[in-house]
């Protein structure tokens, strides 16, 4: 007989690898969609980080909370999603109630991470969903400062327009 802990571990593995069938199986067997591993991360955070949109959708459908933060960095699934920059996935997370202006332990936002990764389409989506362009990180930088630093001209233009509103 397998224990619930085993199903949770299987859920984490399938979320990281993007295996939708194994994700569904683990959830059917009783895995907790909000269970945290030894790194204090959820399956949703891993799936979002690795760009597994279908797994993200399945986890959300089964009660995964997009507002949870890992305790080490204070990041949400939306923040982790900036790495892959999948627009469909970001939309799903926002539609599920992800907090667009949530800040991690260094006061970094999803918008700042989208800038860091050069995701201009995601930057626009976040702005359209209420991202605050004036929030500062622990070094008193705003997203526009980051776009200037990385010389992302298109993102700078998007953020400059948003800043004047």
Residue 5: per-residue pLDDT: 63
Residue 2: per-residue pLDDT: 47
Strand ranges inside 89-152, DSSP E: none
Stretch 41-70: mean pLDDT, rounded?
97
Per residue in 76-131, pLDDT (tens digit) is: 999 999 999 999 999 999 999 999 999 999 999 999 999 999 999 999 999 999 99
pLDDT at 135 over 80: yes
Residue 159: per-residue pLDDT: 97
In three-state form (DSSP H/G/I as H, E/B as E, the rest C), the secondary structure along 98-165 is CCCCCCCCCCCCHHHHHHHCCCHHHHHHHHHCCCCCCCCCCCCCCHHHHHHHHCCHHHHHHHHHHHCC
Share of the chain above pLDDT 70, in %: 97
Residue 4: per-residue pLDDT: 53
Domains of the chain in sequence order:
1-99 (1.25.40.20), 106-165 (1.25.40.20)
Residue 79: per-residue pLDDT: 98
């Amino acid at each position: 007989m397998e224990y619930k802990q085993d199903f949770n571990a299987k859920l984490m593995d399938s979320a990281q690898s993007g295996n939708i069938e194994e994700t569904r199986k683990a959830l059917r067997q009783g895995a907790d969609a909000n269970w945290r591993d030894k790194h204090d991360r959820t399956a949703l955070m891993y799936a979002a980080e690795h760009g597994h949109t279908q797994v993200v959708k399945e986890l959300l459908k089964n009660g995964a909370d997009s507002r949870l933060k890992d305790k080490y960095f204070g990041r949400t699934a939306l923040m982790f999603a900036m790495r892959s920059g999948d627009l469909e996935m970001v939309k799903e997370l926002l539609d599920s109630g992800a907090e667009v202006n949530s800040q991690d332990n260094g006061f970094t936002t999803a918008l700042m991470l989208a800038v860091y990764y050069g995701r201009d389409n995601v930057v626009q989506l976040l702005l359209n969903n209420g991202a605050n362009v004036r929030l500062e990180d622990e070094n008193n930088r705003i997203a526009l400062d980051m776009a200037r630093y990385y010389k992302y001209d298109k993102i700078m233009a998007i953020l400059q327009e948003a800043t004047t509103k």
